[in-house]
Structure 1
């Protein structure tokens, strides 16, 4: 079967329910029966629970001129490819970050670098950094979010300008990288909740400290995004922390009210509503193109990162296409998808990049203990305590996120 060339303009939101649309229906029902039988005897972190095992609905993806694009970039499989992968060498990227340099910090099995994402019905376009920079000439690109967005931002830099010296300038919440020959800026803006919190310091935000969030305050951050040509948002992982303090009023006000609560879907919804209202009234719809990354998957556990140590010594992807990690709450994803759909109804287009399912198969691609640890800790490292099964080694999975992002940007 000949694969279709990529053709996608203004595609509708591809939700988590769409990502398995190409699975044979009989196979899905068979899997449902098998998983239902196993559910009582196997740890649910390793299988899909009955309430999550659903037949995902099909959604036609219609281009601007009304034709069917026929390609879901987010449904596919991982193919081992040691010819075209990796897309860059870890040691050759001058913009690599120590947290993601797994080979440098002792990982011996490097197969995680050689897996290529293959959509079922088309091929991803080849990433061309020079062509991308031409597209970004005289433009400002800003990744807004948490350390997973930083993971993607570093990948984006390594793919686009790997050989340029690492002249990254810290200014407030910004990490700015300028490509002077193209008058382009590719920046990261640290804002893990998008709305204001006490964790908004780019360099000083202890993971175990008590979170305090102003759910309806975003102006402090938003004023820094207004002049961007392309915005890429993410916020998910920090909303999985069990307890949060909600603040009414400002951090410096004597009249402020603090209330500690269990973090809920409702809090996430309020924050995204605050974000969406800001976009509606503050962003230039004719200039700024907006993307939102879906949840980067991980399993809950007791490591330093709040993750399971399951990724330690994992060397192969998961090939069960119905696998779903226990930390990814579909209720949160539904809130994000609903918010974006409502925004589009109000005339603000946000392209939702649903990378959750495809990333969930890649437990082999996390750093685990193979990264730099900034504090003195006991050696040898105990994987059950120190495995980072949340972030991603580079080169690796975030490169695929950026290949998909690249496909959209090149169509702008």
Structure 2
């Protein structure tokens, strides 16, 4: 009888073990799959409902203080990234011809295979799924010139690996485009304003880059000012247009000019108009009580002409980034950078009193190190090479500008905490 009871006990134990294994093995398998999915979120197909739930939980558990760790994201170096690029000119439909270096057969591809590595921490590669979850039901506008548009198109290309947006623009003008990601109810827009303030082309039939623009330095551009209330995030930038001939006005009265080369006219410095344009733009944002969003200032990204300027044979033919000892921020690039930073710090201080968040995307030094990332002559058919100047201002897509979105995601993840401003030096 005892032997029979023992046999029954052993049999029952085996049955319980099998049941336990049947229950636990699927749980282990599910956990393993979930971990693997979390490691491979970047640039895959659109997330399933389970994936969305997982990402929503990740967003809720982000600890901004743990992310920041007082690390200066903008001090570091470019390191190889063999996994890049994360899209091509075939997978992204918003790349303009003059940035489509793949289409026009740029022979080297190394310029696409670098990422930024801060000295004291790591900067994760852009995760399109996570970004879209964070900005669900929100909107973002790029305010500035064609480099701002270049940045927006880079972001669209990266996000398109998850979902292709719909063009909901009210205009066919590429300078005023809006794109909507329906699944996430997220809108992207470009608000064209290369000077940020009211501007008038005083010679619309003149040669490109040589016509005199009139800038009303104390009046913001009403086109963007009237629209910023619609956006949760604004990325403001400007720079390259200030190298053109400019006439300055204040209180609607003529003041002087820049690059006029006309006798008896007061000639102002490059930074005079630049400083006043940012000051006026920031003041307009601060005084607009209905605006409740976050302002990111993206600092000036230098051009890389060598052997002459853009209309005198200058070109950019380097094939790799500079390291930190090969190039120095100096001259007009340094002047513009310091001017921006000074105006930004003042706006950030005033914004804090009003409850407005001003954040910094400090791209100047790290993009100074990327002379290899411009289209050069690979933004047009070869037959135009002797007619059109090389482009050493904009950035190939895909290319180094994609890294700006690594910073953008990291900044949005840490929203609500101050960004430490680096020293400006003397």
TM-score (norm: length of structure 1): 0.72
Where do 5+ consecutive residues of structure 1 fail to align? 1-62, 251-255
Cα distance in 1 between the residues matched to 2:380 and 2:201 = 22
SS at match of 1:329: helix
Among 162, 184, 187, the alignment partner of 2:186 is 184
**Structure 1 pair 126/329, CA: closer, same or farther in 2 (3 Å)?**
closer
Cα distance in 2 between the residues matched to 1:317 and 1:283 = 43
Cα distance in 1 between the residues matched to 2:289 and 2:327 = 37
2:294 maps to what in 1? 289
**Structure 1 pair 345/260, CA: closer, same or farther in 2 (3 Å)?**
closer
SS at match of 1:118: strand
SS at match of 1:387: coil
**Structure 1 pair 166/392, CA: closer, same or farther in 2 (3 Å)?**
farther
Q: Is the 8 A contact 1:136 1:184 kept in 2?
A: yes
Cα distance in 2 between the residues matched to 1:246 and 1:125 = 43
Count of residue pairs the alignment pairs up:
333
Indicate the structure with greater helix content.
2
Q: Is the 8 A contact 1:192 1:235 kept in 2?
A: yes
Instruction: Tell me how far 1:325 sits from its aligned partner.
Output: 6.0
Where do 5+ consecutive residues of structure 2 fail to align? 1-62, 259-266, 416-426
**Structure 1 pair 357/219, CA: closer, same or farther in 2 (3 Å)?**
closer
Among 390, 393, 401, the alignment partner of 2:404 is 401
Match status 1:233 vs 2:236: yes
Q: CA RMSD in A?
A: 3.1
Among 383, 406, 412, the alignment partner of 1:379 is 383
Instruction: Tell me how far 1:303 sits from its aligned partner.
Output: 6.7
Instruction: Tell me how far 1:125 sits from its aligned partner.
Output: 2.1
**Structure 1 pair 329/127, CA: closer, same or farther in 2 (3 Å)?**
closer
SS at match of 1:142: strand
**Structure 1 pair 131/324, CA: closer, same or farther in 2 (3 Å)?**
same
2:22 maps to what in 1? none
2:50 maps to what in 1? none
**Counterparts in 2 of 1:9-408, with a 5 A limit?**
69-82=69-82, 84-162=83-161, 164=164, 167=167, 169-171=169-171, 174-198=176-200, 206-218=208-220, 220-221=222-223, 222-241=225-244, 243-248=245-250, 257=254, 259-261=256-258, 262=267, 264=269, 265-282=271-288, 284=290, 287-299=292-304, 305=310, 309-312=314-317, 314-321=318-325, 323-324=327-328, 328-346=332-350, 347=352, 348-372=356-380, 379=383, 381-382=385-386, 386-408=389-411
Cα distance in 2 between the residues matched to 1:205 and 1:410 = 44
2:423 maps to what in 1? none
Higher-Rg structure is: 2
**Structure 1 pair 157/68, CA: closer, same or farther in 2 (3 Å)?**
closer
Q: Is the 8 A contact 2:193 2:221 kept in 1?
A: no
Give deviations 1:322-365, integer Å, cap 9, x for gaps: 51366643222222111111122222431121111111111111
Q: Which moved more, 1:325-334 or 1:105-114?
A: 325-334
Instruction: Tell me how far 1:411 sits from its aligned partner.
Output: 2.5
SS at match of 1:216: strand
Q: Which moved more, 1:297-306 or 1:191-200?
A: 297-306
Cα distance in 1 between the residues matched to 2:347 and 2:97 = 37
Q: Is the 8 A contact 2:65 2:414 kept in 1?
A: no
Instruction: Tell me how far 1:281 sits from its aligned partner.
Output: 1.1
Instruction: Tell me how far 1:66 sits from its aligned partner.
Output: 12
TM-score (norm: length of structure 2): 0.70
SS at match of 2:228: coil
Q: Is the 8 A contact 1:303 1:388 kept in 2?
A: no
Q: Is the 8 A contact 2:305 2:315 kept in 1?
A: no
Q: Which moved more, 1:97-106 or 1:204-213?
A: 204-213
Instruction: Tell me how far 1:167 sits from its aligned partner.
Output: 2.6
**Structure 1 pair 316/174, CA: closer, same or farther in 2 (3 Å)?**
same
**Structure 1 pair 66/117, CA: closer, same or farther in 2 (3 Å)?**
closer
Give deviations 1:101-154, integer Å, cap 9, x for gaps: 101012111111111111111111232212211221221100000011111111
Cα distance in 2 between the residues matched to 1:399 and 1:167 = 21
Give deviations 1:55-100, integer Å, cap 9, x for gaps: xxxxxxxx99799824111111111221x21122232112222221
Q: Is the 8 A contact 2:68 2:414 kept in 1?
A: no
Cα distance in 1 between the residues matched to 2:72 and 2:281 = 27
